[in-house]
Amino acid sequence: MIGRRPGPTSGTAVVTGAGAGLGAAIAARLAARGLHVVAADIDLPGAERTAAATGGTARRLDVTDAQACRALVADTPDLVVWVNNAGILATGPGWSTDEATRRRLFDVNVHGLINGTTAALEVFRPARRGHVINVVSLAGLVPAPDETIYGATKHAALAFSVGTQLDLARRRERGVRISALCPDGIWTPMLFDHVDDPDAWPSWSGTMLQPDDVAAAAVELLDRPSPVRSIPRRRGLAARFYAATPGLSARGLRGIVWLAHRRQRAWARDNPRPTAPAAPTAVAVPSPVDDRSPGTTPTPTTPTEDLDA
Ligand SMILES: NC(=O)c1ccc[n+]([C@@H]2O[C@H](COP(=O)([O-])OP(=O)(O)OC[C@H]3O[C@@H](n4cnc5c(N)ncnc54)[C@H](O)[C@@H]3O)[C@@H](O)[C@H]2O)c1
């Protein structure tokens, strides 16, 4: 079991994929907590926008480059938090995803996350402190039909994240923490491109989240560490249930897809796609997402259990 001492409120945090979407929101939350944030992104102008909004530093980083991840660690004094957030999405059945796309998905979502984690551990393990937050997805807990390859990458990311936490525990290296964040769909540029894509229905199968809500839950992990945190928590249990009952899931799939398509169409109608890149705004008081808010969209199941390990 992981200890409950408070997480860092000073030092430096690196956030990958911080140029947009969830990464930009996490950068803002970490800065509001008092950390200096290095916004790292393959898109340097995006990273610069986030750095300007959060008083941090921008770095161009392609997470698929292991050496570049290690160099960033070496260039970052007082590193206490590393957030592997960079990720990409492609939709469609597994057989329709071409090889180059498959490989790119695994390069960014799996190898990128492993590169960042292992680079950060090079300083965290000798220092006996540090927290790696790995942004996975509910698609890491349950196969996501029509986002099939994406889901496969997220399963690998989750297995690596939890496995590495257990590697540390087995060696009694308790000061270093690794957490996997498994959110439902988040309204970010990743989904702006897919709002009219019928194959993106898994992203609308439950609760559509806002980036700042997920960022608040991510940063809360620093004080309340957990190997796996699903958002909303009840969707994590639903995901585990579906994953454990593939035959039952296949039988219920038609209804789930129908409902998700209905939600997706309503979302597209009510939420015009933002045109300009959104810079993160300053955050005053962090407040974790309220999973049990009555305002959240109901899911096709009635899960109740907390997934946290
Ligand atoms: N949006 C969702 O519905 C959703 C749901 C669950 C999990 N996630 C995960 O959250 C994370 C962030 O997603 P998002 O929705 O903010 O996406 P996004 O597309 O809005 O932002 C992703 C950022 O990652 C950067 N990036 C892409 N490839 C990179 C690379 N090789 N090196 C460095 N940076 C790179 C992009 O430039 C972009 O700034 C991803 O890991 C995604 O899989 C997203």
The pLDDT, as a whole number, for residue 281 is 56
> Relative to the CA of 181, which ligand 1 atom is closest?
7
Ranges in the chain, pLDDT < 50: 1-3, 284-309
The whole domain housing 171 covers: 12-270
**Distance (Å) from CA 170 to ligand 1 centroid:** 31
Question: Residue 185: what pLDDT?
Answer: 98
Quick one: pLDDT at residue 273?
78
Write the residue with the smallest CA distance to atom 23 of ligand 1: 17
With a CB cutoff of 8 Å and minimum separation 6, the contacts of 58 are 38, 39, 40, 41, 44, 47, 48, 50, 51
Please say if 242 is a catalytic residue: no
Question: Does residue 52 lie in a domain region?
Answer: yes
- Is 295 domain-assigned? no
Our answer on whether the CB atom of 43 is closer than 6 Å to any ligand 1 atom is: yes
> How far does residue 290's CA lie from ligand 1's centre (Å)?
23
In degrees and rounded to multiples of 5, residue 210 shows phi and psi of: -100, 145
From the candidates 24, 25, 33, 150, which is the catalytic residue?
150
Q: How far is CA 73 from the centre of its chain?
A: 20
CATH for 80: 3.40.50.720
303 part of a folded domain: no
| Distance separating alpha carbons of residues 280 and 25, to the nearest angstrom | 6
166 part of a folded domain: yes
Query: Whole-prediction pTM value?
Result: 0.91
Residues 199, 186: Cα–Cα separation, whole Å: 16
63 lines ligand 1 (CB under 6 A): yes
Let me know if residue 296 belongs to a domain: no
Q: Nearest-5° angle of CA 301, CA 231, CA 92?
A: 70
* Span 25-80, pLDDT tens digits: 999 999 999 999 999 999 999 999 999 999 999 999 999 999 999 999 999 999 99
pLDDT for the residue numbered 272? 82
Confidence at residue 5, expressed as pLDDT on a 0 to 100 scale? 74
Would you state the pLDDT for residue 128? Answer: 97
**Cβ(23) – ligand 1 distance below 6 Å:** yes
Counted domains in the chain? 1
Is 293 a member of any domain? Answer: no
- The reply to whether 6 falls in a domain is no
